[in-house]
Chains A and B, each alone.
Chain A
C-alpha cells in the first residue's frame, strides 16, 4: 500500500478558515499541520474547520497532533470544527472523546451555519 504524504492547504470561506487535509496524519505531519493551523488562525479569529475528506489514515500520533490543535484553539478562544471524517474515524473521535470538544459536521455549509448561530 503506497504511503500518501501529508499535505495541508488553507483557504477562507465565509469567515471560517478551512484547512484541507490530505494523506496520512502521523508524526511526520507535525510541521505541516501546525504551520497550516498558524496560517488559518491568522485568517480567522472565530473558527477553523479541519476538512478530513482527503485523509485515509490517522494513527495515535496523528490523534496527538489534533489534540495539540484543539489545545491551541481552546487557549485562543477559537472554535475548532471537523468535517469529512470516515465512519471509522468518527468512531475513533468518539471513543477518544475528541468529539466531545470538537464539533463534527457533515459538510462546510453546516460549519458556516454553526458559526452564524454562535455569532
Chain B
C-alpha cells in the first residue's frame, strides 16, 4: 500500500485521502491473497495504478476467477457486541467507505477490484467533465 501511496503523492490529493486510499488498497490486496489466491504464494496479486485528469483508478487483481465476490453489507456492530455475530466482516465495508467508488469485475480466471478516486470536484461523484 505504501508503493501506491508513493505513486499518487503528486496527484494533488489531500494527505487524509491518500491514507484512505492506502487502507482500501491494503484491504483489497488482503482479500485477493486470502480469498482470491487461497494464500498460495506462487499466485501473484497485480496492482495497477492509472490516472487521468479526472479519475484515479487502482485495480487489484487476483487469480481466483469463478466464484463471485459477495456484495458488501453494513456490519451489524450491535449484533457483534452481543456475541450474536462474528466480530469479523469489515473488509469490503472499509474499502467502500475509503474511496469514491468501488467496481468489482471477474472472468474465468481473475477477480479485479477497482478503486476510484475522483480528482478535483467535491469527492461526492460531482467532478468536472
Q: Which residues of A contact B (CB under 8 A)?
A: 1, 59-61, 63-65, 67-68, 70-71, 74-75, 87-88, 91-92, 95-98, 100-101
Instruction: Describe A's contact surface by its main secondary structure.
Output: helix
Check: B57 CB closer than 8 A to any chain A CB.
no
Q: How far, in Å, is B85 (CB) from chain A's closest CB?
A: 10
A88 vs B91: C-alpha distance when bound (angstroms): 16
A59 vs B2: C-alpha distance when bound (angstroms): 14
Residue contact A63 to B81, C-beta cutoff 8 Å = no
Residue contact A96 to B81, C-beta cutoff 8 Å = no
Residue of B nearest to A61 (CB): B88
A87 vs B19: C-alpha distance when bound (angstroms): 10
Scoring B residues 70 to 94 as 1 if CB is less than 8 Å from chain A, else 0, what string do you get?
Answer: 0000010100111100111111011
Check: B127 CB closer than 8 A to any chain A CB.
no
- Contact with A88, one of B20, B27, B87 (Cβ below 8 angstroms): B20
Check: B69 CB closer than 8 A to any chain A CB.
no
Residue contact A71 to B80, C-beta cutoff 8 Å = yes
A114 vs B75: C-alpha distance when bound (angstroms): 29
The 8 closest A-B CB pairs, nearest first, are A67-B87, A60-B90, A60-B91, A64-B87, A64-B88, A88-B19, A68-B87, A1-B2
Residue contact A75 to B83, C-beta cutoff 8 Å = yes
Contacts of B80 in A (CB 8 A): 67, 71
A96 vs B94: C-alpha distance when bound (angstroms): 8
Contacts of B82 in A (CB 8 A): 71, 74
Check: B23 CB closer than 8 A to any chain A CB.
yes
* Given A67-B80, A71-B83; A59-B16 close (CB under 8 Å): no
Q: How far, in Å, is A7 (CB) from chain B's closest CB?
A: 21
Contacts of A59 in B (CB 8 A): 23, 26-27, 30
Check: B97 CB closer than 8 A to any chain A CB.
yes
A17 vs B67: C-alpha distance when bound (angstroms): 46
Residue contact B77 to A101, C-beta cutoff 8 Å = yes
